[in-house]
Amino acid sequence: MRKELEEAYGFLFEKELLDEIVENGTIKTASAGDKIIEIGEYVTGMPLLIKGAIKILREDNDGDELLLYFLERGDTCAMTLSCCLGETKSEIRAVAETDTTFIMIPISKMEEWTAKYKSWRNFVFESYHSRLSEMLDAIDAIAFLNMDERLMRYLRDKAKINRDETIHSTHQQIAYDMHTSRVVISRLLKKLELDKKISLQRNQIKVIDL
Amino acid sequence: MRKELEEAYGFLFEKELLDEIVENGTIKTASAGDKIIEIGEYVTGMPLLIKGAIKILREDNDGDELLLYFLERGDTCAMTLSCCLGETKSEIRAVAETDTTFIMIPISKMEEWTAKYKSWRNFVFESYHSRLSEMLDAIDAIAFLNMDERLMRYLRDKAKINRDETIHSTHQQIAYDMHTSRVVISRLLKKLELDKKISLQRNQIKVIDL
DNA sequence: CCTATGCAGTAACATGAGTTACAGAGTGAA
DNA sequence: TTCACTCTGTAACTCATGTTACTGCATAGG
């Protein structure tokens, strides 16, 4: 655990804190597509992402989803964090976007470290700041952009997160993430292909110039 | 300042912290409609709301607005807070919804108190938690609700925040807050009136049953 | 090789929301 | 009282998005 931890967080945390994390944390893994936290579940700990990416989703009354943002190495889930401290239920769903490794920190340590380590406090505040920014970006996208622009944004983000210009998704999966219907996505993707911004094959979308 | 501070925050903070707040904070007031923070401005301090209410808005590229949420007595602006710590520019606009009184805390003290007072830490985390929740509510509204449901939600919130079942706004003002057009709001308000949920007069809307 | 299934393409239509335009009512200042 | 201005009501239209329905192709598993 030590090595991965240092690679992802070594420059952030002092030695003693890293020691404590190794001592108290437990390594967890999840495969692409695995559900990590479900809405309404009590949160048992806080994840420090070591490898891979996680997508954070909100759900409406009909059970349909909306992607809020992605988490990457070095990130933690401020939403989870927030839930831990308040000991409330999760308001979001977290799903592994790729194969993922993270360290689970038990809630009990969080309050302690917040008092003890300045670097931990800064990390926590920095996380909140990042997550608030990403929520704002999500709001901007939903409130101010049309579907075609949102779709381009989605494809860009997805390619970046997966470090792969070819996106391996069906139109239906994209529609779920964006809280719209498959037909709409197919229509817009086809338009993007005609504009030479992407190329389409079955189960994959290659980003050319977005 | 002491008296108002104790009324709004006495049950949260210990005596020494209250002393420090009185010593370092400065009382500010704003009249309904006054701009308190503008997008892109550097944030000079963190406001503790004593009296009144503030609305927090996001802006699109055309300069049009979208109401995110309201702040009330006992609240602080986590967004501001987040900006303070990161020393970045404000990502939102804050406008006094009613006549408002608040205490400005200089940035310099915030980091210090976070280390020193557990109650302050809890307050800050609690604020982040509330604000994240409110952002989620805002996202739910925009992404999952139709205009008529959003409008009902807006009217309910507005009546609650102002502690007044009669809302003193023009249709145009509501349209700005909701990032839509006046005609749309007029149309929907008229429908709500026909459903006996509100009654309409010039410059005011009386909530009957929402 | 054949067939069931999932995926993508597309047309035709429904609907909510935004836009333009205009009329009439309310209000305040001269 | 009159005039100018703001606010509201409403019609008629456009447009983006969502829905339904059907097609044919790709692929995997027998």
| Residue A99 CA, nucleotide C3 C1', distance (Å) | 34
The predicted structure's pLDDT at residue B79: 78
User: CB contact, 8 Å: A11 with chain B?
Assistant: no
Q: Phi and psi dihedrals of B189, rounded to 5? A: -60, -45
CA of B75 to C1' of D21 (A): 53
What's the whole-number average pLDDT of chain A? 91
Considering all nucleic acid strands, name the nucleotide whose C1' atom is nearest to the C-alpha of residue A173.
C7
CB-to-strand D under 7 Å, chain A 65-124: none
State residue B110's pLDDT score. Answer: 86
- pLDDT value at position A108? 85
- Hunting for tokens 């990590």 — which residue is that? A36
State the Cα–Cα distance between residues A51 and A59, nearest whole angstrom.
Answer: 26
Q: Is the dihedral of CA B152, B155, B159, B161 positive or negative?
A: positive
Q: Residue B84: what pLDDT?
A: 66
Q: What is the dihedral of CA B134, B137, B141, B143, to 10 degrees?
A: 110
pLDDT for A43 equals 84
| Nucleotides in chain C with any atom closer than 7 Å to protein CB | 6-12, 16-21, 26-27
pLDDT value, residue A74: 82
- At residue B25, what is the residue type? G
A147 touches strand D (CB under 7 A): yes
Compute the distance between CA of residue B46 and CA of residue B28 in angstroms, rounded to an integer: 11
Q: What is the DSSP code (8-state) at residue B61? A: T
Q: How many CB atoms lie within 10 A of CB A189?
A: 19
Whether nucleic acid strand D comes within 7 Å of the CB of B129, the answer is: no
d(CA A137, CA A139): 5
A7 CB contacts (<8 Å, ≥6 apart)? Answer: A50
Model pLDDT, residue A122: 87
Percent of chain A with pLDDT over 70: 98
Amino acid B147: pLDDT: 97
Q: Looking at chain B from residue 163 to 202, which residues have their Cβ under 8 Å from any Cβ of chain A?
A: 179
Using the predicted structure, report yes or no on whether residue A13 has a pLDDT greater than 80. yes
The pLDDT of residue A84 is above 70: no
Count CA within 13 A, CB hemisphere, residue B200. Answer: 15
Give CA–CA dist B51/B1, Å, rounded.
12
Q: Determine the distance in angstroms separating the CA of A61 from the nearest CA of chain B, rounded to an integer.
A: 8
Q: Which residues pair with A54 in a beta bridge?
A: A71, A96
Cβ within 8 Å, pair B92-A133: no
The pLDDT tens digits of the residues spanning A19-50 come to 999 999 999 999 999 999 999 888 888 899 99
Q: Give the integer Cα–Cα distance in Å for B202 and B105.
A: 41
Indicate whether A85 pLDDT > 80: no
- Measured between beta carbons, the chain B residues lying within 8 angstroms of A142 are 139, 142-143
What pLDDT was estimated at residue B111?
A: 82
B8-30 pLDDT, tens per residue? 899 999 999 999 999 999 999 99
Q: In the CATH scheme, what is the code of domain B146-207?
A: 1.10.10.10
Alpha carbon distance B174, B154 (integer Å): 9
- Tell if B202 CB is < 7 Å from nucleic strand C: yes
Token pair, residue A116, equals: 């003890």
C-alpha distance across the termini of chain A, in Å: 38
Chain segment B141-167, per-residue pLDDT in tens: 999 999 999 999 999 999 999 999 999
Where on the phi/psi map is residue B196: left (φ > 0), alpha (ψ -120 to 50), or beta? Answer: left
**pLDDT tens digits along B78-114:** 777 777 666 678 899 999 999 999 999 988 888 889 8
Query: What is the per-residue pLDDT for B108?
Result: 85
3-class state of residue A168 by DSSP = coil
Q: Round to whole Å and give the CA distance between A190 and A169.
A: 15
Give nucleotides in strand D with any atom < 7 A to a protein C-beta. 6-12, 16-21, 26-27
Min Cα distance A56 → chain B (Å) is 12
What ranges in chain B are assigned the alpha helix state H? Answer: 2-9, 15-24, 78-86, 107-116, 118-144, 147-162, 171-178, 182-194
pLDDT by residue (tens digit) across B29-65?
999 999 999 999 888 888 999 999 999 999 999 889 9
pLDDT tens for residues A124-172? 888 888 888 899 999 999 999 999 999 999 999 999 999 999 999 999 9
> Quick count: other Cβ atoms within 10 Å of Cβ B31?
10
The CATH classification of domain B2-142, taken from the options 3.40.1830.10, 1.10.3720.10, 3.90.1150.10, 2.60.120.10: 2.60.120.10
- Digit-coded pLDDT (tens) for A97-113: 999 999 999 888 888 89
- Contact flag A132-B79 (C-beta cutoff 8 Å): yes
For residue A28 the two structure tokens come to 């967890």
Whether residue A76 has pLDDT greater than 70: yes
Q: What number of residues does chain B have?
A: 210
**Percentage of chain B surpassing pLDDT 70?**
98
Distance of CA A139 to the CA centre of its chain: 16
Q: Where are the domains of chain A?
A: 2-142, 146-207
What is residue B122's predicted lDDT score, i.e. its pLDDT?
A: 87
